[in-house]
């Protein structure tokens, strides 16, 4: 592994019986051209002029269950299965809020044919990992179960459909299982509780009072979760888990006709036990509500102001006209957001960021909203900015240049989607069908979406955009919501008074913006290639130019029309001194906002509108890097832009001012959650105080300047080694020419990195005294961590062994801490071994938990570690840990993102080529004895470091 810390400011098998039920008659499914009337009606095609995806096979069973199957070969030999139930938290029983989510958990806790505790094990043996490939979620209006199958063998498809059928109508909901799961759900609730959730709940109750979504969050409350009964769950299950409320979606590399027969066989015998005709999401929205204000006070919340108009939900069917209206509204909101974004980057900005939107509010209402994040908790200035910029747009409308920019960006996104349609991921397509059902829309193909947009483009004028924007905002009176960290005298009245005062300030029309030409297109004579070879077994072409620029190319067909580019320069944080502290965070946050010497970030956004390019440079542990995705059309421009940020960074004062605003707004929030404290303090502690890790104080961060950053990184940017990776649907000759004209044309650079001896001196702390950190959040929140020092990744066999050992531990802590003890919602275990710091690595077990349960958790983790050192893990446990890892390796080989991590240093760090060559072989070779030996070596009693993150006081 290249880095072991994220650097930023900023979740006995049951028998598989053959289905012997005779196949009943079902309404035939077919492609769009011959869809039968019952299917058209069931899917809403009968009252829409939008053509559905012609390659999707739609159907409906006699019992009312809908299904759709689509063949898709990305990734190859795999499939994504989703089952959506039209019921979420708005159906919860009074006093038992959180019941729908509780019911979702119970789907993994026993059914007619799958005993409690066996479903996940069954899937793990088949190569699916819990969480990544096997998961579910509950929202306000739906519950969705998800399986991502690594292989589409008949047996695995049959097993997956059987499990979905069991979930649909055969859950046992035993009282004992309900009690065991209750503690896990309470743990999840504690883990998710933070100021953001509290603000969301208060804001929804303000915007749509009295509606179902205002009454019941999916997670519920502590008291309501404790009040959920098996009888209540049974009532929800029998009432809402019915065929007419269910939709099955299968997208993958399999024959839809064959799969349809399997679906009919599995689900046609399903009969609902009850029927609820009312819609739990239905709500009445009061258009006549007067201007209203709300002050939400929470000591941890970043200060922000939202101005929102709420109108009744649109109930018209999906149509060409409705989609054009949505486009006009989104362009108007996009222009307002763009204006606010530009203002936030000015040196004298009175706010740190903003957003604008027009759309659906959780399937309950339509909303138009603008949100402004305050600078230095100054909510009054944020309110004035939001009100006046909104009124400027409503009064004076938009310029032709602003509309042109938004239209160009939209057209490019749609064109790229159409060009890349044949290699879309199955999981993404499955999510698209789920979203369409939730939004009462129809899935249409990317080419049709592009054609539709290009047909409407002549009608997308400043006048039509302004008209749609005004109508969205004039449907009701504004609702002003202020989130602040302390009380305001006569809060609601003061907010209303400030809003009225702001409305009296005159606003001028927006200034015209003349686009410039991109000024970084000429880098001089093209560079010459002096070395050209190919790594045959991995099909990676390696090029070196006369100026020592290295280029590595891997052509693939995994993402049609997409090209990934990675540019690495210098040594990243290895170049950084111990003082001043936090320069890497400064660079991560606002280096790109500094633009280039010839263009500000705002100018670049206008100049590059409609192009699939993006700028900036980020500090990694061992390089300053830019990883971007573009197209063949924009390959030259993307390389020109990236070269500009390396050779001519802007370091503009407005970006430096924006940095101080960001720090003041968001750094204090880290103290409010255990996870925030962990990200801020723990990396530095585990690196024996190395200041390049973790996040320093607000005072230290605000004192940083671009001048300090420039003095540190300029030598690397101006002369350090550069290695470029290009992966994807690329013409090698074209790529070499494009790099020759940009990076190949630069002055000669260093060929090799220095040793960075001082920068590589990182050590795990020698003391094993327990560490206790504190947070200012809820008193029942905390994190308990057990961390064993290991070593670096020099020995690949040892690295793979420890990775497998960590997955064995993951299964065990999930079984013990989550399922048996109910002490935590989501325990995790992982091994990280550095490629940069000699001897540096860690094995970590982490659990969110109540402070009172931490000692019990530590004791259980110690017992697991001691057990592995004393007795080798069972063959079944190893299988359940290893098979998902093997499937991930196979899946990774078919993904460009994986190959970018290999190709980007194919010349400078050839040892990373061992991953595609050796990883699977080494993983298959790890034995139970190897795992026991690794546990004995690294999980020794007394070698571990315990960390508690607990509430203050």
Q: From CA 293, how far away is CA 371, in angstroms rounded?
A: 14
Contact 601, 344 (CB under 8 A): no
Spatial contact of 189 and 225, defined as CB atoms under 8 Å apart: yes
- The 246-252 sheet, strands edge to edge: 27-30, 56-60, 66-71, 246-252, 79-85, 143-149, 134-138
The confidence band for 22, taking pLDDT boundaries of 50, 70 and 90, is: very low
pLDDT digits (tens, 9 = 90+) for 95-125: 999 999 999 999 999 999 999 988 888 889 9
Residue 641, C-beta contacts closer than 8 angstroms, at least 6 positions apart: 518, 520, 604, 608, 613, 614, 615
Cα–Cα separations (whole angstroms), residue 410 to 334, 404, 429, 611: 10, 10, 20, 10
CA dist., res. 750 & res. 735, Å (int): 22
Least confident of 21-30, 199-208, 308-317: 21-30
Residue 573 to residues 34, 152, 197, 687, 714: CA-CA distances in angstroms? 60, 44, 35, 14, 13
Section 124-137 average pLDDT: 85
pLDDT surpassing 90 at residue 276: no
Residues 6+ apart with CB under 8 A from 391: 503, 507
Q: Work out the number of other CB atoms within 10 angstroms of the CB of residue 61.
A: 24
Q: At what angle do helices 175-192 and 99-106 cross, to 10 degrees?
A: 120
DSSP letter string, 107-152: TTS-BSSS-TTTHHHHHHHTTPPBTTTEEEEE-SS-EEEEEEES--
Q: Would you say 684 and 690 are in contact if contact means Cβ atoms under 8 Å apart?
A: yes
Q: Residue 251 pairs with which residues in a beta bridge?
A: 70, 80
Q: Which two tokens stand for residue 909?
A: 């760090």
User: How many other C-beta atoms are found inside a 10 Å radius of the C-beta of residue 342?
Assistant: 17
Percent of the chain having pLDDT more than 90? 90
Dihedral (CA of 364, 365, 367, 371) sign: negative
Which of the four pLDDT bands, split at 50, 70 and 90, describes residue 666? confident
C-alpha distance from residue 521 to each of 12, 548, 616, 643 (Å): 64, 21, 16, 10
- The tokens for 50 are 């939008």
Q: What is the pLDDT of residues 433-485, one digit of tens each?
A: 999 999 999 999 999 999 999 999 999 999 999 999 999 999 999 999 999 99
Q: CA-to-CA distance for 195 and 851, rounded, in angstroms? A: 20
Question: Could you tell me which of 724, 731, 751 has the C-alpha nearest to residue 900?
Answer: 724
CA–CA gap between residue 83 and residue 587 (Å, rounded): 43
pLDDT tens digits along 546-585: 999 999 999 999 999 999 999 999 999 999 999 999 999 9
pLDDT score of 616: 96
Please give the Cα distance from 14 to 60 (Å, whole number): 29
- Give how far Cα 936 sits from Cα of 487, 785, 805, 930, 941, Å: 56, 20, 11, 10, 9
Pairing outcome for strands 722-728 and 563-569: antiparallel
Residue 2's CB: how many other CB atoms inside 10 A?
17
Among 272, 231, 274, 273, which residue's Cα sits nearest to residue 102? 231
**pLDDT at position 31:** 53
Write out the E strands in 414-500. Answer: 479-484
- What pLDDT score does 28 carry? 45
The residue to which tokens 């024959």 are assigned: 255
Q: Give me the sheet containing 479-484, strands edge to edge.
A: 292-297, 479-484, 304-312, 365-374, 351-361
**Which residue reads 């006549």 in tokens?**
288
Q: Do 94 and 216 form a contact (C-beta atoms < 8 A)?
A: no
3-class SS letters over 508-561: CCCCCCCCCCCCCCCCCCCCCEEEEEEEHHHCEEEEEECCCCEEEEEECCCCCC
Q: List, as one string, the DSSP characters of 720-766.
A: S-EEEEEEES--HHHHHHHHHHTGGGSPP--SS----TTTT-----S
In the predicted structure, residue 421 carries a pLDDT above the cut 60: yes
Provide the pLDDT for residue 32: 52
Closest CA to 578 of 762, 722, 805, 434: 762
Question: Which of 5-9, 43-47, 813-817, 818-822 comes out lowest in average pLDDT?
Answer: 5-9
CA 318, 322, 323, 329 torsion: positive or negative?
negative
Q: pLDDT tens digit string along 688-740?
A: 999 999 999 999 999 999 999 999 999 999 999 999 999 999 999 999 999 99
Peptide bond into 605 cis (omega under 30): no
Mean of the per-residue pLDDT values of the chain? 93
Quote the distance between the C-alpha of residue 332 and its chain's center: 26
Beta strand 945-951 pairing with 771-775: parallel
pLDDT at position 21: 31
Residue of 845, 844, 842 whose CA lies nearest to 790: 842
Helical spans, DSSP H, in 814-927: 854-870, 875-892, 896-903, 914-925
Cα–Cα dist 699/704, whole Å: 9
For the whole model, what pTM was predicted? 0.92
pLDDT at 823: 87
Is the predicted pLDDT of residue 23 greater than 80, yes or no?
Answer: no
In this prediction, residue 17 has a pLDDT band, given cuts at 50, 70 and 90, of very low
Beta bridge partners of 596: 649
Q: Which H/E stretch holds residue 771?
A: strand 771-775
The single residue listed with the structure tokens 């004579």 is 525
- As given in the structure block, the two tokens for residue 545 are 């130019």
- What integer pLDDT is reported at residue 919 of this predicted model? 96
Non-local (6+) Cβ contacts of 826 within 8 A are: 11, 131, 187, 188, 191, 818, 847, 848
Asked whether the predicted pLDDT for residue 5 surpasses 50, the reply is no
The SS3 of residue 506 is coil
What is the residue-wise DSSP string for 154-209? Answer: HHHHHHHHHHHHHHHH-B---HHHHHHHHHHHHHHHHHH-SHHHHHHHHHHHHHST
Cα angle: 216, vertex 221, 222; to 5 degrees:
160
């Amino acid at each position: 592994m290249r880095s072991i810390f994220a650097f930023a400011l900023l979740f006995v098998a049951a028998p598989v019986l053959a289905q012997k039920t005779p196949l009943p008659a079902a309404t035939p499914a077919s492609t769009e051209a011959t869809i039968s009337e019952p299917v058209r009606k069931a899917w809403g095609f009968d009252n829409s002029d939008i053509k559905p995806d012609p390659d999707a096979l739609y159907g409906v069973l006699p019992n009312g269950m809908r299904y759709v199957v689509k063949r898709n070969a990305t990734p190859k030999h795999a499939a994504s299965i989703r089952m959506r139930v039209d019921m979420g938290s708005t159906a919860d029983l009074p006093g038992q809020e959180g019941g729908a989510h509780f019911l979702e958990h119970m789907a993994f806790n026993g059914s007619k044919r799958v005993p409690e505790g066996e479903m996940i094990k069954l899937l793990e043996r088949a190569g699916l990992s819990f969480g990544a490939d096997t998961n579910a979620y509950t929202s306000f209006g739906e519950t969705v179960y998800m399986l991502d199958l690594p292989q589409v063998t008949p047996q695995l498809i049959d097993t997956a459909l059987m499990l979905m059928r069991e979930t649909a109508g055969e859950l046992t909901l035993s009282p004992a299982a309900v009690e065991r799961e209750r503690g896990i759900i309470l743990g999840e609730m504690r883990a998710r509780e933070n100021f953001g959730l509290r603000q969301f709940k208060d804001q929804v109750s303000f915007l749509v009072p009295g509606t179902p979504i205002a009454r019941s969050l999916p997670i519920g409350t502590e008291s309501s979760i404790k009040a959920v009964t098996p009888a209540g769950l049974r009532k929800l299950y029998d009432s809402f888990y019915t065929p007419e409320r269910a939709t099955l979606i299968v997208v993958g590399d399999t024959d839809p006709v064959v799969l349809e027969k399997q679906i009919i066989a599995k689900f046609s015998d399903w009969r609902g036990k009850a029927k609820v005709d009312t819609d739990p999401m239905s709500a009445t929205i009061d258009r006549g509500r007067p201007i209203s204000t709300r002050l939400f006070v929470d000591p941890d919340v970043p200060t922000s102001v939202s101005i929102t108009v709420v109108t009744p939900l649109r109930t018209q069917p999906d149509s060409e006209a409705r989609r054009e209206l949505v486009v006009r509204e989104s362009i108007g909101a996009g222009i307002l957001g763009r204006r606010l974004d530009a203002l936030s980057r000015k040196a004298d900005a009175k706010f740190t960021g903003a957003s604008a939107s027009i759309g659906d509010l959780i399937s309950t209402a339509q909303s138009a909203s603008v949100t402004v994040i305050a600078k230095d908790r100054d909510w009054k200035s944020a309110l004035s900015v939001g009100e006046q910029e909104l009124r400027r747009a409503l009064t004076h409308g938009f310029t032709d240049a602003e509309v042109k920019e938004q239209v160009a960006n939209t057209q490019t996104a749609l064109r790229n989607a159409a060009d890349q349609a044949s290699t879309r991921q199955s999981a993404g397509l499955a999510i698209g069908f789920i979203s369409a059902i939730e939004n009462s829309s129809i899935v249409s193909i990317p080419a049709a979406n592009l054609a539709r947009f290009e047909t409407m483009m002549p009608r997308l004028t400043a006048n039509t955009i302004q008209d749609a924007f005004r109508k969205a905002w004039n449907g009701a009176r504004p609702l002003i919501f202020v989130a602040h960290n302390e009380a305001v005298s006569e809060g609601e009245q003061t907010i209303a008074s400030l809003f009225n005062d702001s409305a009296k300030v005159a606003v001028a029309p927006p200034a015209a913006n003349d686009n410039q030409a991109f000024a970084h297109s000429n880098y001089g004579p093209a560079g010459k290639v002096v070395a050209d070879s190919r790594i045959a077994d991995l099909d990676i072409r390696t090029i070196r130019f006369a100026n020592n620029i290295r280029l590595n190319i891997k052509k693939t067909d995994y993402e049609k029309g997409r090209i990934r580019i990675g540019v690495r320069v210098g040594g990243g944080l290895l170049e950084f001194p111990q003082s001043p502290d936090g320069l890497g965070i400064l660079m991560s946050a606002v280096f790109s906002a500094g633009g280039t010497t010839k263009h500000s970030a705002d100018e670049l956004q206008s100049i590059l509108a409609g192009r699939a390019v993006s700028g900036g440079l980020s500090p990694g542990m061992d390089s300053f890097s830019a990883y971007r995705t573009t197209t063949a059309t924009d390959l030259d421009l993307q390389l020109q832009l990236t070269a500009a940020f390396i050779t001519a960074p802007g370091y503009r004062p407005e970006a430096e001012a924006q940095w101080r605003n960001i720090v003041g707004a968001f750094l204090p929030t880290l103290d409010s959650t255990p996870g925030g404290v962990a990200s801020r303090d723990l990396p530095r502690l585990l690196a024996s105080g190395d200041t390049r890790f973790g996040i320093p104080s607000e005072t230290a961060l605000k004192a940083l300047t671009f001048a300090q950053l420039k003095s540190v990184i300029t030598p690397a940017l101006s002369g350090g080694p550069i290695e470029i990776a290009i992966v994807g649907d690329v013409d090698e000759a074209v790529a070499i020419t494009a790099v020759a004209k940009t990076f190949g044309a630069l002055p000669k650079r260093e060929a090799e990195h220095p040793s960075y001896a001082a920068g590589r001196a990182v050590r795990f702390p020698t003391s094993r005294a327990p560490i206790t950190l504190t947070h200012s959040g809820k008193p029942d929140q905390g994190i308990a961590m057990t961390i064993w020092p290991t070593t670096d990744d020099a020995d690949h066999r040892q690295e793979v062994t420890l990775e497998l050992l960590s997955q064995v531990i993951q299964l065990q802590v999930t079984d013990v801490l989550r399922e048996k003890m109910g002490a935590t919602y989501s325990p995790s275990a992982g091994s990280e071994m550095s490629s940069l710091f000699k001897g540096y690595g860690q094995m970590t077990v982490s659990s969110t938990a109540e402070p009172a349960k931490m000692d019990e958790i530590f004791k259980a983790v110690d017992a697991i570690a001691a057990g592995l050192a004393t007795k080798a893990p069972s063959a079944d446990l190893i299988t359940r840990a290893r098979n998902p890892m093997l499937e991930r390796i196979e899946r990774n080989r078919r993904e460009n993102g994986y190959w970018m991590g290999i190709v980007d240093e194919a010349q400078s760090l050839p040892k990373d080529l061992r991953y595609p060559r050796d990883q699977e072989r080494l993983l298959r070779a790890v034995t139970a004895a190897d795992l026991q030996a690794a546990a004995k070596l690294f999980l020794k009693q007394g070698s571990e470091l315990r960390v508690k993150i607990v509430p203050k006081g």
